[in-house]
Amino acid sequence: MKVTAVDTAVVEANYDWTYIRVRTDEGHTGLGESFLAPGLTGIIHELGRLLVGEDPRDLDRLWNKMRWGSSGAGSMGGIVYNAISGIEAALLDVVGQHYRMPIYQLLGGRFRERVRVYADCHAGEALESLDPLMIPRHPAWLPADQQETQALSGEINRPVHGRAYGEPDAAEIFTPQMYADRAKQVVDDLGFTAIKFDLDVPNPHQLDTHSGTLTHAEIRFMEGLVAAVREAVGDTIDIAFDCHWRYNVTDAKRLASAVEPYGLMWLEDPVPPENTEAMRRVTASTSTPIASGENYYLRYGFRDVVEREGLDIVAPDLQKVGGLMEGRRIADLADTHYIPVAPHCIASPIGTMAAAHLAAAIPNFLALEWHGMSVPFWEDIAAGHGGPVIDQGFIRVPDRPGLGITLNEEVARRYAKPGEPFFGETP
């Protein structure tokens, strides 16, 4: 069996859903998804040149070939691994089809038939769409009432790019009631048993979004959001909160301590991810479980923080960490320290299902993220599953060969990103 072509398509959803299709001379078509990044499809097309003529069953050798070919010796991370992760998933889909085995079997077999999914509720409001630089954009499918451009209050004589840059709309205040309403709706209407909210949202006491500091009033406000969610859903639902790397060690510790009474599933990324010792100080200071991992690459990126027990829960993103087999290695590393794995995931059903195969195949799985709640066509873009991909907060991992689902190309084409090739058709 030989690879004959590697091509891409991009769908403009809440993020750029970047698909990789691998074709073989046996007629198999494998599908993978990469985590968005500027310039990503160019990297994927370049790496594809390394694979044409190769036997996709030599997965690990080809994975190494892409590493060496793209970044030279000793490459530790970066966008190239977003590309490699999606390509590797597509190769696994092909190999699974060839051997008539689901991907979870290629990863060691199944611990569970259903994978628990947690719903990312963002900041309790409807979702925006962000481009590969995390700048808000307005695709046609986004309802008109969510298309107002963000504007900071006051005169700022330069471009403003929104909350990801620590530049929130000052008029935008999130209330405990908003969080409570959203939590109840997601649990009651959709059946999720675990949910996550953003905690680093604009608040009435905010003085400086760039300093990493939190005032007492801000911590009390954030505690109020957490309390409202716990109150709304009761003790049978697991709740987690994300801080997006915003705070210094001292204030992260104060925040983690303040939310201890609410029994969080985890507090995510209270401090930036680069400094293991800083993360370890926060983790060691509190009974609130600390999670991180969406910015780490490869098993090597996780080694130090896992071995020094710098966090309680690892959250690799399977569309960027290096691939599904690398995810298996990271899960095993975590398991030697009895640390659970809760994969980060902002993918479409294609990448989410790939992550679900891994989640089924590792012992120390906790919950898999779903970040697509407000994308109206999230479910529609999947085909071949015989029902919704996510049903009452769980994904049933398919027994069919390979990934077990595919893309509804008609839907993908409808929302295709202008200017990007669509599986070999140039725009």
Interface positions with Mg ion (CB under 5 A): 242, 268
In the complex, what is the shortest distance from the CB of residue 368 to Mg ion, in angstroms, rounded to a whole number? 13
Residue closer to Mg ion, measured from CB, 251 or 294: 294
In the complex, what is the shortest distance from the CB of residue 240 to Mg ion, in angstroms, rounded to a whole number? 9
In the complex, what is the shortest distance from the CB of residue 316 to Mg ion, in angstroms, rounded to a whole number? 12
Residue closer to Mg ion, measured from CB, 16 or 242: 242
| Strands 266-268 vs 290-292: parallel, antiparallel or unpaired | parallel
In the complex, what is the shortest distance from the CB of residue 190 to Mg ion, in angstroms, rounded to a whole number? 20
Query: Which of 425, 420, 413 is closest to 40 using CA atoms?
Result: 420
Q: Which residue is nearest to Mg ion (CB)?
A: 242
Integer-rounded Cα Rg, in Å, for the chain is 21
Residue closer to Mg ion, measured from CB, 343 or 398: 343
Residue closer to Mg ion, measured from CB, 94 or 305: 305
Angle between helices 79-99 and 324-335 (to 10 degrees): 100
CB 29 within 8 A of CB 3: no
In the complex, what is the shortest distance from the CB of residue 87 to Mg ion, in angstroms, rounded to a whole number? 24
In the complex, what is the shortest distance from the CB of residue 69 to Mg ion, in angstroms, rounded to a whole number? 30
End-to-end CA distance of the chain: 30
In the complex, what is the shortest distance from the CB of residue 387 to Mg ion, in angstroms, rounded to a whole number? 29
CB 10 within 8 A of CB 17: yes
The DSSP string of 9-68 is EEEESSSEEEEEEEEETTS-EEEEEE---TTHHHHHHHHHHHHTTS-TT-HHHHHHHHHH
DSSP-based three-state secondary structure for 115? strand
Interatomic CA distance for residues 123 and 144, integer angstroms = 19
Residue closer to Mg ion, measured from CB, 346 or 361: 346
DSSP-based three-state secondary structure for 83? helix
Residue closer to Mg ion, measured from CB, 92 or 355: 355
Residue closer to Mg ion, measured from CB, 40 or 346: 346
Interatomic CA distance for residues 271 and 269, integer angstroms = 5
